């Protein structure tokens, strides 16, 4: 079992400039009672920026996980998720 040592896997990105997306933020807020909201799109279309923007204004608990090829191993994924439970949100 090879563990990824990439600490940013559990830290949300901090983009220097954020494009405001009020329509999309409002859509997410209207659907926050759902158990899961997926943000889908091609590379560089602003998925991470949208998620980061929403989390920064929301008071609901959230976690950030960037998965890679090592996380397809159940032990690695479990270890990564266990780290999330140990980290207090700020």
Residue 78, pLDDT > 60, answer yes
pTM > 0.75: yes or no:
no
CA–centroid distance for 88 within its chain: 15
- Please report which residue ranges of 31-73 form alpha helices under DSSP H: 47-57
Residue-wise pLDDT for 8-24, tens only, equals 677 777 777 777 899 99
Distance, in Å, from the CA atom of 75 to the CA atom of 73, rounded to the nearest integer, reads 6
Dihedrals phi, psi of 24, to nearest 5 degrees:
-70, -40
Evaluate whether 14 touches 89 at the Cβ level (below 8 Å): no
């Amino acid at each position: 079992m090879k563990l990824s040592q990439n600490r940013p896997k559990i830290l949300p990105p901090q983009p220097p400039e954020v494009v405001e997306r009020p329509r999309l933020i409002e859509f997410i807020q209207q659907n926050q009672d759902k158990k899961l909201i997926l943000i889908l799109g091609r590379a560089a279309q602003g998925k991470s920026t949208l998620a980061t923007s929403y989390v920064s204004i929301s008071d609901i608990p959230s976690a950030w996980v960037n998965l890679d090829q090592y996380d397809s191993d159940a032990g690695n994924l479990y270890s990564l998720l266990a780290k999330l439970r140990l980290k207090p949100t700020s």
